[in-house]
Copies of this chain bind each other. A is one copy, B any other.
Amino acid sequence: MNRAMSTKDQLLIGLKRRKGAWISGEALAQEMAISRSAVWKHICALKDEGYVVESSRKKGYLLRELSSLLLPNEIQEGLNTNVFGKRKIAYFTQTDSTNLRAKDLAHEGAPEGTVVVAEKQIQGRGRRGRSWFSPLGEGIYASIIMRPLISPNEAPGLTLMASVAVAEAIQTLTSLNVHIKWPNDIMIYGRKVAGILTEISTEMDRVDYVIVGLGMNVNISHENFPPDLRDKATSILMETGKTFPRVTLLRAYLEEHEKYYELFTLNGFGPVLNRWKQLADIIGRRITVDLMEHRYTGEVLDIDREGFLILRDHEGRMQRIISGDVTLLND
């Protein structure tokens, strides 16, 4: 599944194997069967990618620090999945939106498990045409292509599945208390740390592809959010007080994603939905949902197997709502 490894990637492995010890340029050159000046050239390329490599005329080279970029080879190193992230990872320093890139790839036939990652999005998008603040190198902007053998009405369940995977990844790595706000906002103490944008291409009775895009605020500080977001948004940095390696979070997300996707494929939406309900804490609450031109108010009775919210209004009428903007009401 892995792409053919470049000389630069091999050199990186050679440096990593020394675990912070020096290695001479000559030894590296021999190991790679390339010239010493080629070694030097590739070291420069690694530095350009953000790796901190020290060099000394006497001692050679030493890998001091990994790149802080979300480089495909770093994502894949130690990634414990079979499919997601193991196929092509399309990497952009900057792009319009990872979902748009993923749609283009899916449109051209990219297989399930393909991932698009960007350090920065110019037109980072949220639900319903909203924007997603996507500054360079401080968030995770990643889109996953799936090709599930399900009927179109089951596809919305994958959004809820993705929000479970994101919540689990953050919770496991940071021990922070994470909640899901229906349908797909990931919250910490009432502020949004991540969101999901799902895009689905179907025939009437068969899904062609589903793209799940993740935007996660990882190392964005309070001051670095635009003023209008400061009260609503949070980040892992803000909640834990320290920067967090994005690659570790992304790997954990891909692993959780694959775990729940397999569960969904084998056992249907039930188990995923149960975990979602535990994380969402919405059932029994009184809420208002704004969807397109409608506003629904009532008590949440359940989330059904197609991901719809079942709401009972004050006259006892039931509403089945697929998505919308939720406001919790104080009783």
A153 — nearest CB in chain B belongs to which residue?
A: B322
Is A113 an interface residue when CB atoms closer than 8 A count as contact? Answer: no
The complex places the Cα of A104 from the Cα of B198 at a distance, in Å, of 20
Which residues of A, 185-200, contact B by the 8 Å Cβ criterion?
Answer: 197-200
The verdict on A128 contacting chain B, using a C-beta distance below 8 Å, is yes
Residue in A107, A184, A205, A291 whose Cβ sees the most chain B Cβ within 10 Å:
A205
Q: Within residues 138 to 163 of chain A, which ones have a CB less than 8 A from any CB in chain B?
A: 149, 151-153, 156, 159
Contact across chains for A151 and B322 when beta carbons are under 8 A apart: yes
Q: Return A46 CB to nearest CB of chain B, in Å.
A: 37
Whether A323 touches B205, Cβ cut-off 8 Å, given contacts A151-B292, A152-B200, A292-B151, is yes
CB distance from A292 to the nearest CB of B (A): 7
A158 closest partner in B (C-beta): B204
CB distance from A194 to the nearest CB of B (A): 16
Residue of B149, B198, B203 near A199 (CB, 8 A) is B203
CB of A162 to closest CB in B, whole Å: 11
Check if A68 is an interface residue, CB within 8 A of chain B.
Answer: no
Interface string of A305-330 (1 = CB under 8 A from B): 00000000000000000111000000
Asked if A201 lies at the interface with its beta carbon under 8 angstroms from chain B, I say yes
Q: Flag if B203 contacts A197 (CB, 8 Å).
A: yes
Copy number in this complex? 2
**Is the pair A204, B291 in contact by a Cβ cutoff of 8 Å?**
no
Q: Answer yes or no: A232 CB below 8 A from chain B CBs.
A: no
Q: Could you tell me if A324 and B208 are in contact, using CB atoms closer than 8 angstroms?
A: no
> Contact residue range for chain A?
20 to 34
Contact of A127 among B156, B204, B291, B324 (CB under 8 A): B204
A202 interface residue per 8 A CB criterion: yes
- Decide yes or no: A204 and B292 within 8 Å by CB, A103-B107, A107-B103, A107-B107 being known contacts: no
Q: Are B153 and A203 in contact (CB under 8 A)?
A: no
Minimum CB–CB distance from A318 to chain B (whole Å) comes to 15
Is there contact, CB below 8 Å, between B204 and A322? yes
- A183, CB-defined interface residue at 8 Å: yes
Query: Is there a chain B Cβ closer than 8 Å to A206's Cβ?
Result: yes
Contact B151 A204 (CB under 8 A): no
Question: Contacts A107-B103, A200-B152; is A127 near B322 (CB within 8 Å)?
Answer: no
12 A-B pairs with C-beta separation under 8 A: A151-B322, A151-B323, A153-B153, A153-B322, A156-B204, A197-B203, A199-B202, A199-B208, A200-B204, A201-B202, A204-B322, A205-B292
List 17 additional A-B contacts (Cβ < 8 Å) besides A127-B204, A153-B153, A201-B201.
A104-B107, A127-B203, A128-B203, A128-B206, A149-B292, A151-B291, A152-B152, A159-B204, A197-B203, A198-B203, A198-B204, A199-B203, A199-B208, A200-B201, A200-B203, A201-B202, A205-B323
- For the complex of A and B, the 5 pairs showing the least CB-CB separation, nearest first, are A205-B323, A204-B323, A198-B204, A201-B201, A200-B202
